[in-house]
């Protein structure tokens, strides 16, 4: 069963500059620079007349799904280098006051549930973490690095051995985006 040919043009924000070399795409903007490799036997990323095009030759349903995935990744890259991505988290505690700080490439959580030793979460990539009272703001050009950092922080305050309905202490994502 043969597939159909498909092509889709992608528009990046006007302030984003891109360069395609082979399967590697570099996107540059005011917030930073991102690079990613897009490789698949039936789906290609091409530059045609100054526009970025995803072409799928003889594509089946799975390959067309990959086209949509690539389009989303490239769109996130363009948005990230122009505006940046922001996640907001909230520090919640009722039993012991939690103290949070950033030390180098780690987010440090002290006095979580009265524990003697601090818990740490790794900050991924070029993500910037800002702590203001009970609000933690994560920003960066790469949505995957920002969301991975948020997940690391949230997972580092996972409660084990206590009833989660009673002990709702932790650091939780409250908003994604601006």
Beta strands in 38-164 (DSSP E): 43-48, 51-59, 85-92, 99-103, 106-110, 119-122, 128-132, 135-140
CATH assignment of 4-82? 3.90.930.12
Give pLDDT, residue 165: 84
Every domain of the chain with CATH number 3.90.930.12 lies at 4-82, 85-176
Look at residue 59 and give its three-state secondary structure: strand
Give pLDDT, residue 3: 66
CB atoms within 10 A of CB 165: 6
Low-confidence ranges of the chain (pLDDT < 50): 1
Give pLDDT, residue 178: 60
Give pLDDT, residue 63: 84
Give pLDDT, residue 2: 59
Give pLDDT, residue 138: 97
The values of phi and psi at residue 120, to 5°, are -130, 155
CA atoms in the 13 A half-sphere facing the CB of 40: 20
Give the separation between CA 160 and CA 139, rounded to whole angstroms: 29
Which structure tokens are listed for 153?
């922080």
Give pLDDT, residue 48: 83
User: What's the CATH number of domain 85-176, 3.30.70.1560, 3.40.50.300, 3.30.300.30, 3.90.930.12?
Assistant: 3.90.930.12
Average model confidence (pLDDT) across the chain? 91
Q: Of 159, 160, 178, 169, give the one whose Cα is nearest residue 100.
A: 169
Which structure tokens are listed for 122?
């790794």
Give pLDDT, residue 47: 86
């Amino acid at each position: 069963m043969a597939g159909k040919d498909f092509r889709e043009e992608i528009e990046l924000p006007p302030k984003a500059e891109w360069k395609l070399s082979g399967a590697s795409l570099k996107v540059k903007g005011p917030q930073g620079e991102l690079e990613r490799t897009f490789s698949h036997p039936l789906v290609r990323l091409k530059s045609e007349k100054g526009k970025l095009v995803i072409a799928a030759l003889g594509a089946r349903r799975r390959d067309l799904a990959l086209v949509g995935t690539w389009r989303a990744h490239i769109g996130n890259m363009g948005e990230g280098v122009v505006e940046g991505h922001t996640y907001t988290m909230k520090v919640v505690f009722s039993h012991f006051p939690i103290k949070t700080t950033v030390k180098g490439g780690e987010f440090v959580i002290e006095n979580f549930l009265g524990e003697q030793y601090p818990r740490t979460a790794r900050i991924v990539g070029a993500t910037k973490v800002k702590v203001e009272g009970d609000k933690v703001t994560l920003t960066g050009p790469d949505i995957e690095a920002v969301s991975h950092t948020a997940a690391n922080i949230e997972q580092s305050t996972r409660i084990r051995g206590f009833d989660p309905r009673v002990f709702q202490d932790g650091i939780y994502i409250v908003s994604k985006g601006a």
